[in-house]
Copies of this chain bind each other. A is one copy, B any other.
Amino acid sequence: MTDSNPNASPSAPSMPSDALPPVEQHAQQYATVRNAHETELIEDYVELIGDLLTHRGEARAADIANRMGVSQATVSKMIRRLNELELVTSKPYRSLFLTAAGQEMAETSRARHDVVLNFLRTLGVRDATARIDAEGMEHHVSDETLAIMQRFTEQQERR
């Protein structure tokens, strides 16, 4: 064992480079990221389908492909997966709809996405940049951080 660091949580406010965290904590960091990556594409699809239903009244595979910037074949395959996960219902050649579980996921994801996006805007990030960053960041923001972002945004607005 080359490595054994029982304890190290220096919260010095701005040191250039902290000591390595304890092995278990470090592994947990990466595990959480791997976990987020398993669900984030699913969340983005469900969120997008919800948005299309809200703003366009229907969610067609071709629209999803255009908005995702991905081939129709890729979308078709993903729709099969969403179906198996019982997040959407679909009849061939018809608009998609969200199941109850799908709607819940869509709302949660949308709310989280909006908090992150508005937080970035409030910080002063340009809109186009904020949208790009929020699309990736949203999946890696804990509830704790999300609440802080929300509070921050509200406080800034109240001025």
Contact = CB atoms under 8 A, between A and B. Distances in A.
A2 B140 contact: no
How many copies the complex holds: the figure is 2
Interface string A122-148: 111111111111011101111011001
Interface residues of A, number: 73
A64 to B, nearest CB: 10
Mostly, the A contact residues are: helix
Interface string A39-69: 0000010000001101110101011001111
27 contacts: A2-B58, A2-B63, A11-B121, A13-B121, A13-B157, A14-B118, A17-B54, A20-B52, A20-B56, A20-B67, A25-B128, A27-B66, A28-B69, A28-B132, A29-B135, A30-B67, A30-B68, A30-B135, A32-B132, A123-B148, A125-B142, A125-B144, A125-B145, A126-B144, A133-B145, A136-B139, A137-B140
